[in-house]
Amino acid sequence: MNNNIKESLKSGIIGAIFGVIMSFLMNFFVIPFPTDNIINGMNHAISGLISGFMGGFMGVLMYIKIAVKKNEI
């Protein structure tokens, strides 16, 4: 089970990286609300980091839960 947690963390980090990149680029170039674009991009990058990590982490944990019920792990 410890290996599954490591896989969950790895998946969460990958999701967080993609979330940071996409949120920053979109909010810096497409929807710049504040007067300072860097602050806007950084704020949305932080939210993308959190949501991407949690999405990836929870997705893998749900996969583990389903796989355990099916006795695949």
Residue 72: predicted pLDDT: 66
H helices of the chain, in order, are: 2-29, 37-69
- Give the count of domains, the chain: 1
Distances (CA, A) of 48 to 9, 30, 34, 62: 16, 15, 18, 21
Domain that residue 9 falls in: 2-69
Residue 66: predicted pLDDT: 81
Residue 32: predicted pLDDT: 62
Residues 6+ apart with CB under 8 A from 25: 41
Residue 46: predicted pLDDT: 84
Residue 28: predicted pLDDT: 78
Give the pLDDT confidence of 15-51 residue by residue, as tens digits: 888 878 887 887 778 776 777 888 888 888 888 888 8
